[in-house]
Structures are given as C-alpha cells and as structure tokens.
Chain A
Amino acid sequence: MSHIYQLTKGIIKENPIFVIVLGMCPTLATTSSAINGMGMGLATTFVLLSSNTVISLIARFIPDKVRIPSYIVVIATFVTIVDLVMQAYTQSLYESLGIFIPLIVVNCIVLGRAEAFANKNGVFDSMLDGLGMGLGFTLALTLLGSVREILGNFSVFGLKLIPKEPVWTAGQFFHDPMLVFILAPGAFIALAYMIAIFNKLKK
C-alpha cells in the first residue's frame, strides 16, 4: 500500500510542477511542442530514478557536510549519460532541447528529491519516488506542451488538427493559430492558467 503511494503521490497529489512548483526553467523553456516536453520529461525521469537509487544507497557513507556537492556529482554523472545517449540516438530532439539537457543538473526537483527523500529512505521506496516524481513531471510537461502546441500551431505531437485550408471559416481565429503560445510569453501565460485550474480542481 505504502509502496504504491510512493509511486503515485508524484503524479497528482505532490505533482512537482502544479503543486510543489519546482523546476520551472525546463518546464517553461522546453514545452513549445508536446514532443519536446515529453522528451525533456523522460530525460529528467531517467536522471531522477537513477540519482534517487544511487543516493539512497550511498547516503549513509557520505559525511553530512559534503553531502550536497556529492549529490551534485552523482546527478551530473547521470545527466552526462543522458546527454551523450540523446546526442547519439535522438539528434533532432537533442538539438531542440539544446542547453536544457545539461541544465537538468540544476533542476531543483532532482536535488530536491535527493535531499528530501532519497537520503532518508530505502532503495526501493526511493526508486518508486523518483519514478513517480519523474512521471508527474513528464505528464505536466506533456500536457503543457500539448496545450501550447494546440493553441499556437493547431497540432498535437506534430499532427495537424485541422486541414491547412479550413472549409469552415469561423472568423480569423481558425485561420491563424495564436503563435504567441509557442513563443516565450505563451509559456508563462499557459502555465499560469494551468496551475490556476489545477488549484481549482484539487479543492
């Protein structure tokens, strides 16, 4: 029961984006399309899962004073692995995420889970926690990416929702997507409304 809770709490109840509001930089920067958001989410999930596992194993051998630098080294190692693997196998995704892959190191969620959970819980629970938080993060990023892509480009995961020449011309709205949602201001505005809706639904 409690194991299942460790896994599922990150998805809704303690969702890292909508509830804890951590890791804003990649959330805003990489969600210009659903596929980018999902790619970033999955990369972060891998780092979270691996770093939580390793840190929960080695936490008791690390002196308290140097624990943060030690955690950062562990996290940076896994980020480097992700960076190299993505460069080799998913070239186009790697290029569109750009600088934000190495920046997973400073994503507050990863260090936050290490400090708040992995260093005082067992390996199995820490793995579940990392996986759950990662999936919650991925879900939030994919959702935000989809919303922005629908509003800004009339497509999801690159699939056009309406034909290029719309037969039903209900005003200008359906001709021109709201490009601003793909650009920087749209990220802030879309996320603001999504958090507001999430707060409302949670009550």
Chain B
Amino acid sequence: MEYILIIIAAIFVNNVVLAQFLGTCPFLGVSSKIDTSLGMAGAVTFVIVLATLVTFLLQHYVLNPLGLVFMQTIVFILVIASLVQMVEIILKKLSPALYQALGIFLPLITTNCAVLGVAILVIKKNYNLLEGVVFAGATAIGFGLALVIMAGIREQLELANVPKGMKGVPISLLTAGILALAFMGFAGIVK
C-alpha cells in the first residue's frame, strides 16, 4: 500500500517536471517528437534508477559512517557522470540495438537535474532502499509521461498558427503551464 502511494504521488501529484521543475531542460528541448521523447524517457528511467541505487548505498555505507556528508554534492554528481559514461560503454558492447535507440540521449542525461535531484530527495526523505528505488522509478515514469504528453501536443502545435512573438520557447512554456494546471487537479489524491 505504501508503495502504491509513493508511486501515485511521484507520477501524478508531485510530477517531477510539472510540479517540481526538475528536468525542465530536456523537457523543453527534446519533446518535439513522440519517438524521441520515448527514447529519452527510457534512457532517463534507466539512469535514474541505477543512480539512485548507487548513491543510496554510497550515502549510507560510505558518507554517513565516515562523517563526509558535506561531500554529498561532489560525490553524487561524479557518480552520476561516471555512471552515464559506463552505461554508454556497456550498452555499446552488450546490446547495440538498445544503444542505437538510447545512445544519443545518454550524454544529455548528466546535466538532467532530475537525476541528481531524485538522488538527493531520496536521502532527504529518509526512504529505505526499496522505497527509494520505487520512488526513483515512479519519478522517471512521471518524467516520461510529461515528456510524451508534451511531445504529442507539440506535434499538433506545429500546424497551429502561433503569433510571431510567441513562437518557439514561449509557446512551449505556455503549453507546459496549462499542462501543469491540469496536473494540479491530481493534488489531494494522496493524503
């Protein structure tokens, strides 16, 4: 039951992009086609879950016992950066097909603040390992959901007659704002 609550809260109520503003850069940058946004969502899910797992273990078995909590930011970002590199190399060797699908998105993920954000949030919220991983997975699904919805809207938007000054970034932001408004309707489902 607890886990279901965590999942629903992370996907709908506190959607990572539309309510917490994590990962807005790829959200605005990559979400112009449904195919690419699905690829991005897949890659992000993979990295977020893996990064949360590794950073959780590091925090509880290395940083906390040694009293190095102030090193959290530096350690986490290094772990994420090297993890992304490693995933890229392993994927290239093991599964060229998957690498073809996800490859181009992987380098972008290091600077996706959702990855570092989730890793820090899991520590801040005092989740245990399983809760943390479930939270990370659900957050990533929420990210993918927002990305795919946005891509669907933007594909339609290309046909619309947008006022000159609003073309490009402003209309995307406005669309995201209306989406966020819609997602606010989920508030109150949990608690």
Residue numbers of A with Cβ under 8 A of B are: 21-26, 28-29, 68-69, 72-73, 76-77, 79-80, 83-84, 99, 102-103, 105-108, 111, 180, 183-189, 191-193, 195-197, 199-200
A104 to B28, CA, bound (A): 19
A197 to B163, CA, bound (A): 12
A residues within 8 A CB of B70? 80, 84
Stretch at the interface among B43-51, B54-62, B152-160, B175-183: B175-183
Can you name the residue of chain B whose Cβ is closest to the Cβ of A180?
B181
A29 to B20, CA, bound (A): 7
The count of residues in chain B whose C-beta lies closer than 8 Å to any C-beta of chain A is 42
Are A106 and B180 neighbours in the complex by a CB distance under 8 Å? no
Question: Quick check: is B74 within 8 A (CB to CB) of the other chain?
Answer: yes
Could you pull out 8 A-B pairs where Cβ atoms are within 8 angstroms?
A: A24-B24, A24-B28, A25-B23, A84-B70, A99-B124, A103-B113, A103-B116, A106-B112
Are A102 and B21 neighbours in the complex by a CB distance under 8 Å? no
Are A189 and B173 CB-contacts (below 8 A) given A76-B77, A84-B70? yes
Question: Quick check: is B18 within 8 A (CB to CB) of the other chain?
Answer: yes
Closest Cβ of chain B to A180, distance in Å, is 7
A residues within 8 A CB of B77? 72, 76, 105-106
Are B170 and A193 neighbours in the complex by a CB distance under 8 Å? yes
B residues within 8 A CB of A73? 74, 78
Contacting A at CB under 8 A, from B4-41, are 18-25, 28
Closest Cβ of chain A to B108, distance in Å, is 10
Other-chain residue from B20, B120, B121, B170 in contact with A192 (beta carbon distance below 8 A): B170
A99 to B14, CA, bound (A): 15
Are A184 and B81 neighbours in the complex by a CB distance under 8 Å? no
Are A72 and B120 neighbours in the complex by a CB distance under 8 Å? no
Closest Cβ of chain B to A188, distance in Å, is 3
Are B82 and A189 neighbours in the complex by a CB distance under 8 Å? no
Contacting A at CB under 8 A, from B164-191, are 165-166, 169-174, 176-178, 180-181, 183-184
Closest Cβ of chain B to A86, distance in Å, is 13
